[in-house]
Amino acid sequence: MSGTIRENIKPGIKVRVVQKQDQRTGKLTEGVVAKLLTKSATHPHGIKVMLESGIVGRVKEIVN
């Protein structure tokens, strides 16, 4: 599933996000979604979320 479509992402699912400071390297951080921060239905760089750990980033992968 794509991390660019808001309806694919729900609080409680495990995802990999790229943080703002890691955008150049592409380093991904794994965690569980606490809340969605992007209001639009889609975003070309990924939906912005806050993880339960407090990390904010854009969803690049949804982990099953």
CATH number at residue 15: 2.30.30
pTM: 0.93
**Number of domain units in the chain:** 1
Q: What is the mean pLDDT of residues 44-64?
A: 97
Q: 36: burial class by Cβ within 10 Å (0-12, 13-18, 19+)?
A: middle
Residue 42 lies in a domain: yes
Which pLDDT belongs to residue 22?
A: 97
Q: What is the mean pLDDT of residues 46-55?
A: 98
Burial of 57 (C-beta count, 10 Å sphere; 0-12/13-18/19+): buried
Write out the E strands in 1-64.
14-18, 28-36, 48-51, 56-62
Q: pLDDT tens for residues 10-50?
A: 999 999 999 999 999 999 999 999 999 999 999 999 999 99
pLDDT of residue 64: 81
